Structure 1
Amino acid sequence: MALTATGIGSGLDISNIVKVLVDAEKVPKEAIFNKTEDSIKAKVSAIGTLKSEISKFQDALKKLQSSDTLSQRKISTGDSKFLTATSTSSAQSGSYSVQVERLAKAHKVGGSFTTDSAQTVGEGSLGFTVNGKAFAVAVAATDSLSQIASNINAASDNSGVTATVVTSDSGSRLVFSASKEGPDNQIALTATDTTGTGLNDMFGGANLTTLQTAQTSLLHIDGQAVTSQTNEVVNAIEGVTLKLTSADLSSTTTLSISQDDSAVKENIKGFVDSYNALLTSIDKLSSYDAKTKVSGALQGDSMIRSLESQLRKMVSERVTVNGSETALYEIGLKTDRSGKLSIDDTKLAASIKTNMNGIQSLFTTKDTGIANRFADLTKNYVKAGGLIDGRSQSYTASQSRLTDDREAFSLKMTQLQARLSKQFNAMDLIVGSLNQQSSGLSDRLKSLPGLVRR
């Protein structure tokens, strides 16, 4: 392989000269690329931060968008072993005496006994009807009791039957239980044989035994009798759901309901804190610090400025609720010059005590309620295909274009380096040739007759 070297003819450092010339064009452009890339990355990060803060704000809003989450109730059943209770915002404060006389029971029937649960019982189908809904399960000649039970439980159209193999001293049998309590959910079973009489012999007519009779629950609320198909009693007391767990008519449970003022205040405080955090984030991302001369990544971005403007306007304006105007400051929420909120604890506590319906209307009224309006506004920014999504796609496109520009410029610099190297090497060869000719001419001149050296 031939060895080559540059600068031999001219004595110049051609490699370094070429590098300096290429860098003179390359370095400033790469600095611009790097600055642009850093700016795009900062904007992408800022958009992510903004979206995260909006999502936190939306989480706080959810607790104010409905009466059930805003106006919570404290409900107590003491240490009762007979029932538990939950309530919605429609439950009114009060105290009730409750006695549970009996629990609801689910219908339960069993087939005839076999000596072995692995024994096959016939071929055909079993049809079930529960509360007017019917379904059927095929039984193969090779199906054991366990397989039949599995097929029933796995049926996609099962309308409320659970099948179980129970083995006792009398043998093994299939037991069918209604999934819900009460007479409305009694099980009707039809056995159809395609071969022999095995299924009817086990499940047909008198061969099907009632193991538990379906019954309603019965309780007394302040002496008034209440029956229910299940052990979950809904709205016997408006807005209250009772779950009965045991029965004893001689025992009384005192059920107490009151408004949970602390929970209401906590939900409103969460709204204020997340709103202020969102404004702080917007200010940080879009402002300019004159002292440090550092700009926020989204300074001058019309999207974030529009969001800030709408938030500040919405939080300070009066809204019409049930025909009359109201505003946040009327319940104790004040705004400062920067648009941030603060809470007048005394005024808010008084509003919760005396005007809870007004607070609910202010936040939860459909379309005009503060929480719902904020939710609609922020949804436009964070939803798929929304404003933030569109801005993110724009940054992605900018990053892609920058990558293409980098690659094109890199190729251009490679070509420039190759061209300059070729030109300087050609010059080097010419200079080397000229030097050789000059040296030869000098030698010949020196050899001429009569040349006298001094």
Structure 2
Amino acid sequence: MAAGISFGGLGNGIDFGQVVDQLVKIQRLPIDKLVQTQTALKSKLTDYGVLGTKLLSLQGAADALRLATTFDRSSASVGDPTVLIASASSTAAAGTYTVNVTKLAQAHQITNKAAKAVAAPTTDIVSGASATFTFRVGSGADQTVTLGATATLEDLKAAINDLGAGVSASVLNTGTDAAPAYRLVLTATSTGASNAVTIVTDTTDLDFLNASGTGGTDVLQAAQDAEVVLGDPSQNPVTLTRSSNTITDAIPGVTLTLIKTTGTNTVTLSISRDTAAVKANIKALLDAYNDIVKFINERSTYDVTAQTGGLFFKEGTPKTVLSRLRRALSDEVSGLSIYTATGQIGFKTERDGTMSLDDAKLDSALSEQYSAVKALFINQASTTGVAQRITEAVDALDDVVAGALTLRKQSLTDQIDDLAKEIARKEEALAAYEARLRAQYAALDALLSQLQGQLSFLRSRTGLVQERQL
């Protein structure tokens, strides 16, 4: 209701407020229709956004099959997984190895002699005005800590750790609760013989270099390389030494993580092609494709009873999407000799447009003609495989300039914006119309009020004349 305008309710049988409301309601019908159209377009735009996300998921599934390095899958198995763990990349060649883990890599760990232990971590370990503690790791640079006159064992530990120089310092009580004996433990942060810790200078009371004759160093753990023997011990095996228990450069494409030694025993390491993983990736591609088909089908239906179509009913873009993806997945790949189309390895198009997979047929193809299946999907110099075609199809649909999906989404956005402007303009016009109506009916209400007063006056005068005549 327009501000400052009200109706008197004069008992004339007409509620002008309701009259105005009804007239405005009728005038609002075109706006309501525009709002409904705008809401439908927003829902359609949202679903196109979801479709775009599903296309990216399909492209992601295709990427797992598009290149030789992503298509191939290898698996590694170890006869005794408590000895070592193995993982294989796509570049690993199939093979079986006999492995004997004779040594594990260890980090060098040393401590000062028990004779130089102190009663508490806060015990002063500097006898003079200052002290110097210098060490190095392997062939690295010397690392020096300078301590003041009142420095403690805890201070030295903290100063070494603050250097971040390849050594971790800790304090260890090698005594008892009643008679504690705290010693400094230095542990190399990297394993291997080349990472041994050497004390260069020690003028603290810990006396790592035994200047007093009662000090020195205890080795808690030797700096040691891992040692692995590959091959039958009775033949001519190869011995490998590495500074780490994780070995990545012995067998190409295989990572070995050593856990424990085998003594005189051996374990078997087997590297094989993982066709199950390849099949899973192929099925993931098919699932992503079917997800798109079902999504579009559900929105392209027509309800005969309600005479309404889904959000994609009569939309050309979803049909374009399905057509391009179907061709990418089903058309023959030129330049191949054994398998030239996915239908030959078990793909089948169903009546609703989705694709099913004959598992037995795919299993047989992967087992007997693995390279031919691989050639069908991957991108090569002379052929564009199925996975590459899908990637290119999605890129074309999503192209920022000419992509069918991009253009349709932009068109919907423009229509929604235009409708918003039209609705705002009509709302403004309707507000002005309502204001005029209320002003006009307010004037009419006032006029009727005036006429009602005049009529009452005339009736009263007529009654007075009649009384006088009597």
Please tell me the TM-score bracket, short chain as reference: 0.7 to 0.9
Q: Is this contact kept in 2: 1:9–1:433, CA < 8 A?
A: no
Name the residue aligned to 2:83. 82
**Cα separation, 1, equivalents of 2:360 and 2:311:** 40
Q: Is this contact kept in 1: 2:104–2:227, CA < 8 A?
A: yes
**Cα separation, 2, equivalents of 1:82 and 1:328:** 43
Name the residue aligned to 1:36. 37
- SS for the counterpart of 2:291 is helix
Q: Is this contact kept in 1: 2:138–2:198, CA < 8 A?
A: no
Gapped runs of 5+ residues in structure 2?
none
Q: Is this contact kept in 1: 2:99–2:269, CA < 8 A?
A: yes
**Cα separation, 2, equivalents of 1:97 and 1:162:** 36
The one-letter code sitting in structure 2 at the alignment partner of 1:244 is L
Offset of residue 300 of structure 1: 5.5
Q: Is this contact kept in 2: 1:6–1:13, CA < 8 A?
A: no
**Cα separation, 1, equivalents of 2:76 and 2:338:** 32
Q: Is this contact kept in 2: 1:9–1:432, CA < 8 A?
A: no
- The superposition leaves residues 71-110 of structure 1 with CA deviations (integer Å, 9 ceiling, x where unpaired) of 4334332235322222223333333322222222222233
- SS for the counterpart of 1:283 is helix
**Cα separation, 2, equivalents of 1:136 and 1:83:** 36
- SS for the counterpart of 1:351 is helix
Gapped runs of 5+ residues in structure 1?
none
- SS for the counterpart of 1:64 is helix
Name the residue aligned to 1:173. 183
Identity of aligned residues (%): 28
Q: Is this contact kept in 2: 1:298–1:304, CA < 8 A?
A: yes
Name the residue aligned to 1:98. 99
1:262 maps onto 2:268 in alignment? no
The structure 2 residue matched to 1:227, chosen from 240, 255, 265, is: 240
The one-letter code sitting in structure 2 at the alignment partner of 1:117 is P
The root-mean-square deviation of aligned C-alpha atoms, in Å, is 4.5
**Cα separation, 1, equivalents of 2:401 and 2:146:** 52
Pair 1:225–1:322, CA change in 2 (3 A): farther
Name the residue aligned to 1:19. 21
Q: Is this contact kept in 2: 1:107–1:178, CA < 8 A?
A: yes
Name the residue aligned to 1:422. 439
The one-letter code sitting in structure 1 at the alignment partner of 2:308 is V
Pair 1:417–1:250, CA change in 2 (3 A): same
The one-letter code sitting in structure 2 at the alignment partner of 1:171 is A
Q: Is this contact kept in 2: 1:100–1:247, CA < 8 A?
A: yes
1:280 maps onto 2:294 in alignment? yes
The structure 2 residue matched to 1:236, chosen from 220, 243, 250, is: 250
Q: Is this contact kept in 1: 2:328–2:393, CA < 8 A?
A: no
**Cα separation, 2, equivalents of 1:364 and 1:37:** 44
Instruction: Out of 363-372 and 82-91, give the one that drifted further.
Output: 363-372
The one-letter code sitting in structure 1 at the alignment partner of 2:169 is A
Pair 1:12–1:151, CA change in 2 (3 A): farther
Pair 1:162–1:332, CA change in 2 (3 A): farther
What TM-score comes out, normalization by structure 2 length? 0.75
Q: Is this contact kept in 2: 1:96–1:256, CA < 8 A?
A: yes
- SS for the counterpart of 1:92 is coil
Pair 1:138–1:382, CA change in 2 (3 A): farther
Instruction: Out of 83-92 and 420-429, give the one that drifted further.
Output: 83-92
Q: Is this contact kept in 1: 2:336–2:376, CA < 8 A?
A: no
Alignment of structure 1 residues 336-351 onto 2, 5 Å: 340-351=354-365
Offset of residue 271 of structure 1: 1.8
What TM-score comes out, normalization by structure 1 length? 0.77
The one-letter code sitting in structure 1 at the alignment partner of 2:188 is A
**Cα separation, 1, equivalents of 2:274 and 2:142:** 47
**Cα separation, 2, equivalents of 1:336 and 1:212:** 67
Instruction: Out of 358-367 and 165-174, give the one that drifted further.
Output: 358-367
Offset of residue 25 of structure 1: 0.5
Instruction: Out of 93-102 and 63-72, give the one that drifted further.
Output: 63-72
**Cα separation, 2, equivalents of 1:183 and 1:337:** 67
Pair 1:261–1:145, CA change in 2 (3 A): same
Pair 1:334–1:442, CA change in 2 (3 A): closer
Name the residue aligned to 2:122. 118
Offset of residue 251 of structure 1: 0.8
**Cα separation, 2, equivalents of 1:125 and 1:390:** 73
- SS for the counterpart of 1:119 is coil
